[in-house]
């Protein structure tokens, strides 16, 4: 499943929903991702200033990968003077 993430709140909501669907507790996810429980709590709450490498660990622990789309079309529009 692919999900658009626009901000830290969207990411936190997705992490929480996925964790719950997997029937994991916050401490279980923290252990699996090698981060603290407080980190999981703050991530799920949408805190915007969390360490990126830890976010990636949590996503990977949940079976997710980070992907970025749209930059090629953005560059094309910029080169055409449309921006």
Whole-model pTM: value is 0.86
pLDDT at 13 over 90: yes
Q: What is the largest CA-CA distance in the chain?
A: 50
CATH number of 8-79: 1.10.260.40
User: For residue range 48-72, what is the model confidence (pLDDT) as tens digits?
Assistant: 999 999 999 999 999 999 998 888 8
Q: Which residue has the tokens 């490498």?
A: 53
């Amino acid at each position: 499943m692919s999900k658009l993430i626009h901000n830290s709140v969207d990411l936190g909501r997705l992490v929480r929903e996925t964790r719950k669907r997997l029937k994991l507790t916050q401490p279980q996810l923290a252990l699996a991702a090698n981060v603290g429980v407080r980190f999981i709590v703050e991530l799920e709450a949408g805190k915007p200033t969390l360490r990126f490498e830890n976010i990636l660990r949590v996503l990977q622990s949940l079976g997710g990968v980070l992907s970025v789309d749209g930059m090629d079309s953005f560059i094309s529009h910029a080169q055409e003077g449309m921006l």
